[in-house]
Amino acid sequence: MNIGIIIPAFNEEESIALTLQSLLNQTFLPTQIIVVDDASTDTTSQIVAKICTESPIVQLLQRTEKGAHLPGAKVVQTFNFGLPCLQNNIDIICKFDADLIFPPFYLETMVNQYIQNSQLGMFGGFCYILKNNHWVLENLTNTDHLRGAVKSYRKECFKAIGGLKTAMGWDTADELLARYHGWKVQTDATLHVKHLRPTGAGYKSNAHRLQGSVFYRLRYGWVLTLLASAKLAFKKRSLKRFIDYYSGFLEAKRQKQPYLLSPAEGRWARKYRWKSIFKKIIS
């Protein structure tokens, strides 16, 4: 199977070379790696350009549009900028962050899983962060959720879900839609990816409110939103985050922000979430 990787990058001079080197040292090499430089103001593009001269499978694209660097929407816009440049023979589309170090067998394991299961639509490993000189699991979500940093899609699944939503919450909507269309979503706990910059390290209250608005746009309703907000806030031991999340939900509802899912998809998503909750309670 042919792997096409798109890496959105913004001011990643400290990590992009490490990320690319880890991908170029894989036991199963990708067919294509596209780095989309999102108008970086540091030396990201120069570093990637040098690597391009050393490896023909790496390609640099430069996106010069300016805009607010908010979580979610902009990274998908940058990813989408690289999509038309993917070769037609690509079987697996990957969206990887620019601050990751992959274990050398990552892509080989991924390809084997796609080959073994024709219904597998999405696959990925787990992110680990450096804490007290030890690499520990970046425990932000359930273990059955694929982190936005390490997404991969079978091409047919990617087409079925209509690509990625250009909004915060895209990395939840894609999994819900994949499952809605009958595809399997799988994580692999044996794949430890080093995440050099913890998720949300620079996020502020506004970003947390945006996360709350995602619950509305995913058609969760107020009860599921309360539970999801409480869970996320508990992980960070922050009551303020809970207030920010739910305030964001109420604000989105008041503004009647556009949904990310259709009514039918939303009904399915709510049933799926409740089923998962009841399953955990029983177990």
Each residue of 17-65: pLDDT tens digit? 999 999 999 999 999 999 999 999 999 999 999 999 999 999 999 998 7
The two counts, helices (H) then strands (E), for the chain are: 10, 9
- Please give the backbone phi and psi of residue 192, each rounded to the nearest 5 degrees, phi first: -95, 115
Q: Do 185 and 66 belong together in one domain?
A: yes
Q: Do 191 and 209 belong together in one domain?
A: no
Q: Is residue 176 part of a domain?
A: yes
Q: Do 182 and 267 belong together in one domain?
A: no
For the chain, how many structural domains are there in total? Answer: 2
Each residue of 163-215: pLDDT tens digit? 999 988 999 999 999 999 999 999 999 999 999 987 655 445 577 888 899 99
205-217 vs 221-235: helix crossing angle, rounded to 10: 150
- What global pTM score does this model have? 0.91
Determine the 3-state secondary structure of 249 from DSSP. helix
Q: Do 122 and 12 belong together in one domain?
A: yes
Contact 158/79 with Cβ under 8 angstroms? no
Q: Rounded CA gap, 192 and 228, in Å? A: 26
Angstrom CA distances, 11 to 40, 56, 194, 200, 259, stand at: 5, 23, 18, 16, 31
Q: Is residue 200 part of a domain?
A: no
Bridge partners, residue 151, by sequence: 95
* Six-digit token string for 59: 């390609």
Q: Do 49 and 114 belong together in one domain?
A: yes
